[in-house]
Structure 1
């Protein structure tokens, strides 16, 4: 099994480990330990009887022998001992990452300037509802994704991959992107020019703007030498008939139960422009914190919108 496949199936592997170690802990707690206790009691009774006979014959015995014998008889087998030690740790990690917070690593520059390659982020797993681990089925409704949220989700074309983009369209919205200006329901989003952004990987510059999406202000990067959409990169996807495309951009009406996602690095992001809408059942959680970046320590503890 490759490292990539392990990471993609980590939740399932963690679940299996939790079940196996939990079964062993439960079996030992309620069955195997009682068997060891019964065998120890029988052996100790025989030990006491033998010592009584020897004492009657005037033979003096070492008093520590009984305690050592009992400890040896009650000692857990190594495989049981390790399982019992690991079970609560594995269970806690599984609970935390399944229902509360899960760490992710940013692998690409599609969310620059908000998120950099190598950022280790935390994702809130409960803000959009409580979901069953592994199955990712929502069982308790909490909140709905809002425009401007940075969201992690299962890539619709390959459910084993996690993607991160910004929510720009919620169900019922008409999202239009023409000549690199984003319009939601007929309202063009305000943009404030900022100093040009240096792309560290390519060592070139992008135009940078502060964009206001609903109540969320965030930075975006624009490359003037690239088109607003590469039409030949647009794939077939469910509800594609809700979209129209041209060389200047696109317009899509977001269907019920779906979300339209775009990267902040607008001209270097493979997003809903190309592979379509994100269904509610694909949602993983809301990203909110950079907790580590080994190349940029100053980003540690950065909360973002």
Structure 2
């Protein structure tokens, strides 16, 4: 009876050792791990568990990397749209109408806040009124999808006329130092004597021709409210307010303040296409880049 009572002690120990071994095998073998468990164990040569390695993490990490990349790209796009819409925008000079102040191939940054009308924010943000002699970028009144850059000659209320190529504002001549190039070998009755009476140029906008004759007073044009009279510094090669009229206030985009890059444009007819111009620029960059104009302030 006593033997029968004591005999189960040995099997009990064996069962305990067997259960511990089974538990260890379950941990060591990934196939026996708990479904959905976050980690598995590996066995060292000495018989101990030495490390734990994650399962299914690479796929989750790749998804997180994708989401992080998409968020970064979205933030960059939103920031770029905000800057272009409200703060600054890049423009390129395509013609010689502003030489020597601005050259063909100059790339400009335009401050869109400088002239912005802020309403209640006027006292907090550095807005400025458009003044005479300011250089502005604006939407061309005849075709608003095009952008022009000119110098402001007349602001609302100013009286303007030209006589033999000399510009007069409110009865006083403008300092010719403002205009780098303005002398032509040929005299043009419309261009140099403005408003030009019965003289007309084929480049004059027909709507402006009719409007101009209704606002001429004693040989002068008076700039209406919320409009501006602009001209190019290279006045003999500039299609400006003389030819198509005033610039409305709402058309003005901003003030160019920096030439961030400048490159001479190819004159060859074979480089008319965008791809050809790009390839030409890359090949001839060292000699065609105007390094002295890079990061040059516009005045």
Q: TM-score range by the shorter chain?
A: 0.5 to 0.7
Equivalent residue, structure 2, for 1:166: 151
Sort the Cα spacing of 1:289 and 1:185 in 2 relative to 1 into closer, same or farther, 3 A.
Answer: same
Sort the Cα spacing of 1:139 and 1:241 in 2 relative to 1 into closer, same or farther, 3 A.
Answer: farther
Equivalent residue, structure 1, for 2:185: 224
Task: Determine if contact 1:130/1:139 at 8 Å carries over to the other structure.
Answer: no
Sort the Cα spacing of 1:239 and 1:156 in 2 relative to 1 into closer, same or farther, 3 A.
Answer: same
Answer yes or no: is 1:304 the counterpart of 2:265. Answer: no
> Residues 1-305 of structure 1: matches in 2 within 5 Å?
46-48=35-37, 63-66=52-55, 69-73=56-60, 75-76=62-63, 80=67, 82-129=69-116, 141=122, 142-191=127-176, 210-211=177-178, 219-227=180-188, 229=191, 231-235=201-205, 236-237=207-208, 239-241=211-213, 243-244=215-216, 251-295=220-264, 296-305=290-299
Query: Once the two structures are superposed, what CA deviation does each residue of 1:74-133 show, in whole Å capped at 9, x if it has no partner?
Result: 5438875543221122122222222222111100001111111001111111110157xx
How many pairs were matched up? 221
Which structure has greater strand proportion? 1
Alignment gaps of 5+ in structure 1? 1-43, 53-59, 132-137, 192-209, 212-217
CA distance in 2, matches of 1:260, 1:241: 16
- What's the RMSD between the two structures over aligned residues? 3.2
**Shift of the alpha carbon at 1:175?**
1.2
**Shift of the alpha carbon at 1:263?**
0.6
- Structure 2 length normalisation: TM-score? 0.64
- Structure 1 length normalisation: TM-score? 0.63
CA distance in 2, matches of 1:181, 1:254: 18
Equivalent residue, structure 1, for 2:282: none
Query: Once the two structures are superposed, what CA deviation does each residue of 1:145-173 show, in whole Å capped at 9, x if it has no partner?
Result: 11001100001111111110110010111
Task: Determine if contact 1:182/1:188 at 8 Å carries over to the other structure.
Answer: yes
2:89 aligns to what SS in structure 1? strand
Sort the Cα spacing of 1:140 and 1:268 in 2 relative to 1 into closer, same or farther, 3 A.
Answer: farther
